[in-house]
Chains A and B, each alone.
Chain A
Amino acid sequence: MSERSPKQVDRRMFLMTGSGALATLFAAGCRPQAPATGGAADKVPAKGAEQNAPAAQSAGKTAVLQLWFDIPGSQQEHIKKVNEKFSAENSGIEVRTTVVPIAEMPTKLATAVAGGNPPDLAYLGGPSLASNLIQAGKVESLSKYQKDIATLDWLDPIKRLLTRGDDFYALPVNSGVLGLYYNADLYKKADLHPDKPPATWDDLVKNARAIAKADQQVWGHYIGTKPITWSADQVWIAYLWQAGGEWLTSDEKSAAFNSEAGVEALKFYVDLVHEHKVTPLKAIDNIVSGNDFETGKVGHMQLYPIWVLRAEAMSFPVRTAPMPQHKASAVPLGMGTMPIFSDSKNKEASWTYLSWLMKPENAVFWVSGLGNLPARVSIRDTAAWKEHAAKHPLMQPFLDAQPRARIAYFGKGAQEISTQVGQAIESAVFQRKSPKQALDDAARAADEILAR
């Protein structure tokens, strides 16, 4: 083997690397185009696979709708099935789903909307995004397509969220309510009746204490302690409302969560960890909560019905129940809504899709694979829902709690305020501040946000 000087090796290596890069560049330039699925690609005629649906259909072409969705895995697969069913019944329209990471949906949507390239449809979890888009005038009024849509029997809080004047701005496709999941095996081991879940805060503490064995890492109850919005406006707010408190004052101009009721709710959290020792001192969010619960070492946790399908597959029997009550019984309402974007190139086809989803059998098909509840009251009386509910009895307690459900504040600065409250929860639970001091500090920050 001949020897080469380092300089020769270097040069050869550089040339090889450069050639490789050029070859790759060439290959990329010659690649088949990725299917154009909306956005700016439509502005270039050569790439525009999408056309307005009626025009496309009349020309025998397929209109391709772009749907952004934020739940991966089996839920994503289910949505594909929904879309296939839709396309089978509506020739000429294809719906392509792209999963956008849930935490990044606001960033991606904000950029796409600002750049004039939104998708045709997007699945929006929670009230804030939908409300912001409606407020900014970036989504279509669905009342243009169906005059009476605002008067249908949507759950009242959702109807209020999506209605401005006579206009209704997004299709509610599912709902959810915070509820209690509990481990029936641990109930039996603690000599508790597995069919008698806690009905009040006192019951919850009593049962959790009976279950917890801190030395064996067995815990009685999980709460949300990670300083994120989920801990605040999806979980702790239930305890706040149940203690008789409110998030903001009635004019929504200042914080009200630092009231006596708020302090009581946060002290309840602190006591669960430090006095009753039924909750571990660690950062807990929805994922940690669910995953730890699945180990079989957690007595109760509170989550939304989307976890029902997973709970059914756990290695121990799981039961569900409405959230325990205190002075009041309100619980937060979750939801999924789907607007048509004002800059969509396929508005008619998008409406065809939404109106198809409004049919009861399709509405049930949508929620059945997601593990959610219907967004319309009358759906629960349909044969399709009854058949689904019979197969998934863990759903029923969530449905029972729906009449008590409320939407958390979703107006100006909602996310920032929730983050402040999330940080207050963490500060109090980790005993860096007293509950009162933590909430007062968060309230001051919230007032500044609201005053902007």
Chain B
Amino acid sequence: MAVLGLSRRQRHLAWQALLYVVLSAASLVVLLPYIWMVSTSLKPSAEVFTSVPHFIPQSPRWQNYLDVLRTYQVGQWLINSFIVSSIEAAGVVSTSILAGYAFGRLRFWGRDAIFFMYLGAMMVPIQVTLIPSFLIVGWLGWIDTYEGLVVPRIVAFFGVFLMRQFFLNFPSELEDAAFIDGSSRWRALWQIVLPLSMPAVAALSIFSFTAAWNDFLWPLVVVNSEEMKTVQLGLSSMKGELSDWSLIMAGATLSALPLLLLYLVLQQYFVRGVVMSGLKG
């Protein structure tokens, strides 16, 4: 049936064009704060708050990036965040694979009860466990150290849940074939299951790294010195009544770059992982 006298192909093209317009508009809405961030990071301070806002700096000031690195310890904060996020993500992935495999593939007494306890723990907000965790970390002498930042966070219930969901759908025939060939459980996990689980592992790695990179509350309570601040904590402490917003935005842009790179490198795994594990970020 012809609609508005258009052929089927023309209708298809029109629909595609409309779709692209809507998606482009939606992308612009999502990207707008980031564009503004980068734009502001290149403005001289006097240009940040003008009565008529403009996106393109009239005289781009790359010096802001040098200034923010010189004035604040942004370089050190980025290094701290990288160390903390890398170890935390590696820890979360390791513990989640092992626990997720156990919950998804093994049969043992109390398995489901323990898993439901895990699920319950997911519902407890960090604020509830903040002071007990702080006390334990303090007792261990880990206040203001990398250990204090990382160790309490290397088990993530969400990661266990994600990997369990993935392993539940893993074809058992592949494992069974390995067992028939004399493989141990550990070897089957390491050589059969894990290589085929890379999309989920990549997705979890990105989730964990991003969560650690953006974490604010735990670093806030456990870090007591400028040298140990993570980048989010550092950026937040740059904000004040009299702050130079172009420097803050330069710092924010620098802090966003590692996540952007990580996502670009692992993009294909990330998308497949999210689809295969049935979870959205």
Give, as a whole number of angstroms, the nearest-CB distance from B249 to chain A.
Answer: 13
Q: Please tell me if A72 contacts chain B, counting CB pairs below 8 Å.
A: yes
Give Cα A217–Cα B50 distance, bound, in whole angstroms: 11
Q: Please tell me if B141 contacts chain A, counting CB pairs below 8 Å.
A: yes
Cβ A315 vs Cβ B240 within 8 A: no
Q: Which residues of B contact A18 (CB under 8 A)?
A: 90
Fill in one digit per residue for B208-240: 1 if any A CB lies within 8 Å of its CB, else 0.
000000000100110011111000010011111
* 143-198 of chain B: CB within 8 A of chain A: 143-146, 150, 194-196, 198
Closest to B127 in A: A107
Q: Please tell me if A148 contacts chain B, counting CB pairs below 8 Å.
A: no
Q: Please tell me if A2 contacts chain B, counting CB pairs below 8 Å.
A: no
Give Cα A275–Cα B241 distance, bound, in whole angstroms: 30
Q: Which residues of A contact B138 (CB under 8 A)?
A: 39-40, 43, 115-117
Q: Which residues of B contact A22 (CB under 8 A)?
A: 90
Q: Which residues of B contact A116 (CB under 8 A)?
A: 135, 138
- Given A39-B138, A44-B141, A315-B46: A114 in contact with B196 (beta carbons within 8 A): no
Q: Please tell me if B37 contacts chain A, counting CB pairs below 8 Å.
A: no
Cβ B220 vs Cβ A107 within 8 A: yes
Cβ B83 vs Cβ A115 within 8 A: no
Cβ A295 vs Cβ B50 within 8 A: yes
From A10, A66, A295, A307, give the contact of B224 (CB < 8 A): A66
Give, as a whole number of angstroms, the nearest-CB distance from A113 to chain B.
Answer: 10
Most chain A beta-carbon neighbours within 10 Å: one of B48, B138, B143, B224: B224
* 59-105 of chain A: CB within 8 A of chain B: 66, 70-75, 96-102, 104
Closest to B148 in A: A40
Closest to B242 in A: A310
Q: Which residues of B contact A291 (CB under 8 A)?
A: 48-49, 245
Cβ A33 vs Cβ B145 within 8 A: yes
Give Cα A41–Cα B141 distance, bound, in whole angstroms: 5
Give Cα A217–Cα B51 distance, bound, in whole angstroms: 8
Q: Please tell me if B87 contacts chain A, counting CB pairs below 8 Å.
A: yes
Q: Please tell me if B86 contacts chain A, counting CB pairs below 8 Å.
A: yes
- Given A96-B225, A98-B224, A111-B221: A13 in contact with B237 (beta carbons within 8 A): no
Cβ A28 vs Cβ B194 within 8 A: no
Q: Please tell me if A383 contacts chain B, counting CB pairs below 8 Å.
A: no
Cβ B240 vs Cβ A14 within 8 A: no
Q: Which residues of A contact B243 (CB under 8 A)?
A: 72-73
Q: Which residues of A contact B242 (CB under 8 A)?
A: 71, 73-75, 290, 306-307, 309-310
Give Cα A215–Cα B220 distance, bound, in whole angstroms: 44
Closest to B132 in A: A115
Q: Please tell me if A167 contacts chain B, counting CB pairs below 8 Å.
A: no
Q: Which residues of A contact B226 (CB under 8 A)?
A: 97-99
Give Cα A372–Cα B121 distance, bound, in whole angstroms: 47
Give, as a whole number of angstroms, the nearest-CB distance from B94 to chain A.
Answer: 8
Give Cα A74–Cα B237 distance, bound, in whole angstroms: 13
Q: Which residues of B contact A39 (CB under 8 A)?
A: 138, 143-144, 224
Q: Which residues of A contact B135 (CB under 8 A)?
A: 115-116
- Given A72-B238, A287-B241: A115 in contact with B146 (beta carbons within 8 A): no
Q: Please tell me if B21 contacts chain A, counting CB pairs below 8 Å.
A: no
* 46-105 of chain B: CB within 8 A of chain A: 46, 48-51, 83, 86-87, 89-90
From B90, B142, B196, B241, give the contact of A290 (CB < 8 A): B241
Q: Please tell me if A24 contacts chain B, counting CB pairs below 8 Å.
A: yes
Q: Please tell me if B279 contacts chain A, counting CB pairs below 8 Å.
A: no
Give Cα A72–Cα B237 distance, bound, in whole angstroms: 6
Cβ B139 vs Cβ A10 within 8 A: no
Give Cα A414–Cα B228 distance, bound, in whole angstroms: 33
Give, as a whole number of angstroms, the nearest-CB distance from B187 to chain A.
Answer: 14
Cβ A20 vs Cβ B86 within 8 A: yes
Cβ A115 vs Cβ B49 within 8 A: no
Closest to A295 in B: B51
Cβ A14 vs Cβ B194 within 8 A: yes
Q: Which residues of B contact A28 (CB under 8 A)?
A: 83, 87, 146, 150
Give, as a whole number of angstroms, the nearest-CB distance from B92 to chain A.
Answer: 11
Give Cα A357–Cα B87 distance, bound, in whole angstroms: 43
Sorted nearest first, the 10 A-B pairs with minimum C-beta distance are A21-B90, A44-B141, A40-B138, A40-B143, A10-B198, A39-B143, A291-B49, A99-B237, A101-B236, A115-B134
| Chain A residues within 8 Å of B, Cβ to Cβ | 7, 10-11, 13-14, 17-18, 20-22, 24-25, 27-28, 31, 33-41, 43-44, 47, 66, 70-75, 96-102, 104, 107-108, 111-112, 114-117, 119, 217, 286-287, 290-292, 294-297, 306-307, 309-310, 315
Known: A14-B194, A74-B242, A108-B220. 10 other contacts (CB 8 A): A11-B195, A14-B198, A66-B225, A96-B225, A100-B237, A101-B220, A101-B239, A117-B138, A119-B224, A290-B242
In the assembled complex, 17 residue pairs joining A and B whose CB atoms fall closer than 8 Å, in A order, are A14-B194, A34-B227, A34-B228, A36-B144, A40-B139, A41-B145, A43-B138, A43-B139, A71-B241, A73-B240, A75-B242, A100-B237, A101-B233, A102-B239, A102-B240, A108-B221, A112-B134
| Chain B residues within 8 Å of A, Cβ to Cβ | 46, 48-51, 83, 86-87, 89-90, 130-131, 134-135, 137-146, 150, 194-196, 198, 201, 205, 217, 220-221, 224-228, 233, 236-245
